[in-house]
Amino acid sequence: MTALRLHRALTRIWASDPGWKGWFTTVNHTDLGRMFLTVAVFFFVVGGILAMLIRAQLASPRSAFVGPDIYNQLFTMHGTLMMFLFAIPLFEGFAVYLLPKLLGTRDLAFPRLTAYGFWCYVFGGSMLIFSMLAGIAPDSGWFMYPPLSSTLGAPGINSDFWLIGITFVEISAIAAAVEITVTVLRYRAPRMRLGQMPIFAWYALVTAVMILTGFPPLILGSILLELERAFGLPFFQVADGGDALLWQHLFWLFGHPEVYIIFLPAAGAISTILPVMARTRLMGYGWIVAAAVSLGVLSFGLWVHHMFTTGIPHMGLAFFSAASTLVAVPTAVQIFAWIGTMWRGSPQLHLPMLWILGFFVTFVIGGLTGVMVAVVPFDWQVHDTYFIVAHLHYVLIGGFVFPMVGALYYWLPHFIGRKSYFKLGYTAFWLVFAGFHGTFLLLHWAGLLGMRRRIDTYEAGQGWEAINLLASISSFVMAIGFALVIIDIVVNAVVSVRGSRNPWNGGTLEWAMPTPAAAYNFASLPRVGSRDPLYDDPDLPVRIARGEGYLGDADRGRRETLSVDVSTGAPRYITVFPGNTALPITMSAVTGLFFLGLLIKVYWLVPIAAVGVTALALRWVWSLGARQVEGALPVGRGESLPTSSEVSDPPGWWGSLFLLLANGTFFGSLLFGYAFLWTIAPNWPPPAWVEPGPAVAVLALAGAGLALLAVQVRDPVRTVLSVGGLGALVAACVLVLGLASDPTAHAYDATLWVLLCYALLHLALALLMTAVVWTRRRAGIVSARLGGEGRIVALWTRYAVAVTFIGLVVTGAPGLVP
Amino acid sequence: MWWVLLAGASLIFLFVMALVAVAWRSPARPAAEERPFVVGLGLAFPLVVLAALLAYGLVVGERLLPRPGPEVVTVRAEASQWRWRFGYEDAPGLETEGVLHIPAARPIDVEITTTDVVHSFWVPRLAGKLDAMPGHVNVLRIEADAPGEYGGLSAEYNGPGYVQHGFVVVAHGPDEWRAFIEGETP
């Protein structure tokens, strides 16, 4: 078969639907990556406009441009949009678009999940935009400290938009993170070992695992605060055994890793682009991987440095101060490895490189002021002043936006398949760079002069006028610069001529395909033996196009790719991907109804939407799986492999594993909250503990034993034991809930209800999954009969048993001890 | 303290930028070793600087801690939206609003709390800030060297009245302070 005929055959199989319909039914990562990036840039523009309004207000003392009501919405929404709707989705967009191409595979592990996440992001973001247009946007600051953000300080619907909208959007972050993790571990070019992955894949892996462990505390906090606001469960109300400090812990437990979740992808882009620009290879690959991993780990140890002024004991402060300064070490390792790479090569000043140089200047300053605020006595002075505002903008704009704009320019020829003319881009860079430093270098000084953040106006005569006026003017210069970047990119996308493949002479696999990328990425999957395959084997693209790698034909007429061994990259099985479908967008719309019902307090809508989501999920699952055993199929190069239906660790098992990692972190955060309230909050112990009798203990032990035994044996005994065991656990939970007081009485009762409802939800899920697999087995579906579906259910059953048992013990045991 | 930090930071910044410039200008050295960059500059250099900085910060911080002593005067600060109320251990029943009276040249422990949302007590010229948390009492040590008036602010965003939410600290000489405590308006 010739390369062209192969291209046509594969395109027929992989292409999205034509026309506008394709936007809503596509599950292709190239399309969805571009859509993610476009929507993220849209939110950047909106957030930028809010920033301009803020600077317009602060340009002069006693400004009457907007009142405090509007101003409080402006800064809250600016922070919220930039963090949740711009920075994280922009990373997701890059990862969704690039990862399969860098790794040499045809799509992400779960294509429909990519689409579902994207639409959740769009619908959730729309909720927040709507609140802003209606003038009822959140106004309690982007970190939403209760009681100010709770019913006491914010009785309106404003805070609900934040709590519900952001939780909805976070579905997309969790979905993308599961997907990225499984893709990096299992979907690479055959024989690409972990140590041979493009460096960006390492960064994406670390970032994704951090999202899985960093976001659950925030999601938990949002749910608890919303429960307090909507139903009066007093988690953060001190009079009833709650504590406002709990929110700050949960928030910053997320919030600090978040900073590195934002920085690491940018560092990944730099580590990819810099060596190409310097015409050499990256220095210290192993060191950089180690630095990224240790940044990920360390970042979870420093959340308290946002709370130095909350009255934490001094020993605690010393520990967190040390951890906060320590985090500078892996950052320094990366910075100096990059400088070493430039030293080794001969860098050229292309536009992407210019943005990276801008990063060096800005980020080093931001890092140094960061070390300053890690020093506790200094932080006591500058905390919550413009010094912090300036510091965080140096880190986030210098450390994320600059490199990401560089990355946008670097991969622009790939996105649009055209040669780029970058004349406007240079002007834009200098406007942004000068404007940025003109704004924020000065604002450090305003902070040292005592200007607090979040004030909507100030009096003349404190020496702040000149600083603020200059900062405002500079910020408009920066905004014009960013507008030019966007115009530049749009103009390039529309008018430039078709360009050559691999214009920068990069060494990674994304440049081994024609651009714009074909829907199937690679006509055949290359065997890879080094970190820069294109440098070592310049003819590789031609052989890929001719179908000389794995899966180099379209004979089976379906979307296929290879799953490989985690560490060695040896091919393991064929994954068959689903085709175009409107199921993801429908399911996220119904998910949106669920959140909308909560938001506008139309509670009858909530269970209906929940049933709808469950029905759609069942349909989603039902469409998977072959009915005939195919055995080993030829994959090219003389090898044969089974499909994912017939193996014991299908993609769904890996996806479940990492979803349970996030879920377990959520449950762990809930236990942490319980322990925190018990030990720290005033007004503990509660008026009465629940005192479960021996019946509950017997049911719990017997149920857990039966359910755990069930997953060890074969059907039909397995199904019977499983249903019996899980049913007994459900009964135990219901009994305890019957004994418990009203959840609004005390934070203990509220926690008990949340823990046991969480357990009940997982028991129901395990029962449902057991029933589904039983039905599928009866229907003769291969993956249920021979494959790994039983193991997936076993995983979820074990998890449900564990959380139920722990939940029952921690809520019931205190009442048994005299 | 600020000047030490600024000088150190500027030196490091210039050093890194000089390295970038040199790396940029230098000819290609394909055989360049990674050890001096990664281990020397990346690991050893920040570890030394940070250890010094941390020790310095802890020593300074230790001095700011509240320690019991015969001289210590205890006052109470209670924040609410958008008022500050102050009470005095030496004069039970005495309460002032918007103005905190303290004796000059004596260590003061301010017991900070709140009746509603989170606030923060900050007198920039006397000490750093400390938050007022619902249900908790945080103790801040302040000391005014000389009698006079010192501006105080709420430094944690607390809603629409945030901008105006301030107070004044008045530091008195020994005689005036005694008069204040004994109920005569100074």
- pLDDT band at residue A683 using 50, 70 and 90 as cut-offs: confident
In Å, how far is B105's CA from the nearest CA of chain A? 21
The complex scores an ipTM of 0.88
Flag if B30 and A344 touch (Cβ within 8 Å). yes
B27 close to A (CB below 8 A): yes
Taking the CB of residue A14, how many other CB atoms lie within 10 A of it? 22
Q: Which of A334, A335, A336 to mutate to test the interface with B (most CBs of B within 10 A)?
A: A336
**CB-based contact (8 Å) between B135 and chain A?**
yes
The residue range of the domain holding A812 is: 685-816
DSSP A37-65: HHHHHHHHHHHHHHHHHHHHHHTSTT--S
Which amino acid type is present at position B62? E
**Under an 8 A CB cutoff, do B42 and A337 touch?**
yes
A284 touches chain B (CB under 8 A): yes
DSSP A276-344: HHTTS--TTHHHHHHHHHHHHHHGGG-GGGGGTTS---HHHHHHHHHHHHHTHHHHHHHHHHHHHHHHH
3-state secondary structure of A415: helix
Min Cα distance A756 → chain B (Å) is 28
The identity of residue A607, as a single letter, is: P
Residue A659: how many other CB atoms lie within 10 Å: 21
Give the distance from CA B164 to its chain's centroid. Answer: 20
Contacts of B157 in chain A (CB under 8 A): 140-141, 145, 148, 384, 453-454
Cα–Cα nearest to A393, from A366, A359, A432: A366
| B69 near A CB under 8 A | no
Provide φ and ψ at A142, rounded to 5°. Answer: -70, -15
Total residues belonging to chain B: 186
Q: How confident is the model at residue A68 (pLDDT cuts 50, 70, 90)?
A: confident
Interface of A with B in 122-141 (CB under 8 A): 140-141
Does any CB of chain B come closer than 8 Å to the CB of residue A310? yes
Contact A162, A593 (CB under 8 A): no
Asked, for residue A747, whether it belongs to a domain, the answer is: yes
pLDDT tens for B58-87 read 777 777 666 777 788 899 999 998 899 999
Percent of chain A residues topping a pLDDT of 90: 72
| Helices and strands per DSSP (H, E), number in chain B | 4, 10
Residue A149 has pLDDT above 70, yes or no: yes
In chain B, domain spans: 2-63, 73-181
Q: Provide the residue-wise pLDDT of chain B in tens; the chain has 186 residues.
A: 677 888 888 888 888 888 888 888 878 777 777 778 887 787 888 888 888 887 887 777 777 666 777 788 899 999 998 899 999 988 888 889 999 999 998 889 999 999 988 999 998 888 888 888 888 899 888 888 889 999 888 888 888 888 888 899 999 999 999 888 887 654
CA-based Rg of chain B, rounded to a whole angstrom?
24
Of 2.60.40.420, 3.40.50.300, 2.40.30.20, 3.40.50.620, the CATH number of B73-181 is 2.60.40.420
Q: Would you tell me which residues 82-111 of chain B have a C-beta closer than 8 angstroms to some C-beta of chain A?
A: none
Give me the phi and psi of A67, to 5 degrees please: -85, 175
pLDDT in tens, B102-118: 999 888 999 999 998 89
Place of tokens 């610069």: A481
Max CA pair span of chain A: 82
- With an 8 Å Cβ cutoff, are A683 and B124 in contact? no
B-facing residues of A in 434-453 (CB < 8 A) are 448, 450, 452-453
* Number of domains making up chain A: 1
Nearest CA-CA distance, residue B175 and chain A, Å: 31
Q: Given CB atoms, is A147 within the 8 Å cutoff of chain B?
A: yes
Residue B111, classified by CB atoms within 10 Å of its CB into exposed (0-12), middle (13-18) or buried (19+), is middle
The CA distance from B7 to the nearest CA of chain A, in Å, is 11
Largest CA distance in chain B: 82
- Give how far A634 is from chain B: nearest CA, Å: 43
Do B126 and B141 contact (CB within 8 A), yes or no?
no
Between chains, do A328 and B46 touch, taking CB under 8 Å as contact?
A: yes
Helix axes A158-186, A68-80, angle to 10 degrees: 10
B49: buried, middle or exposed (CB in 10 Å: 19+, 13-18, 0-12)? middle
Tens digit of each residue's pLDDT (9 = 90 or more) over A485-525: 999 999 888 887 787 888 899 999 999 998 889 999 999 99
CB A777 within 8 A of CB A785: yes
| Residue A643 and residue A781 in contact, taking contact as beta carbons nearer than 8 Å | no
Task: Specify the pairing of strand B99-103 against strand B166-172.
Answer: parallel
- Whole-number Å distance between alpha carbons of A54 and A71: 7
A518-577 confidence digits (pLDDT tens): 999 999 999 998 999 999 999 999 999 999 999 988 889 999 999 999 999 999 999 999
Query: Which residues of chain B have a CB within 8 Å of the CB of A238?
Result: 134-135
The two tokens of residue A195 are: 């140590």
Rounded distance, CA A93 to CA A118, Å? 9
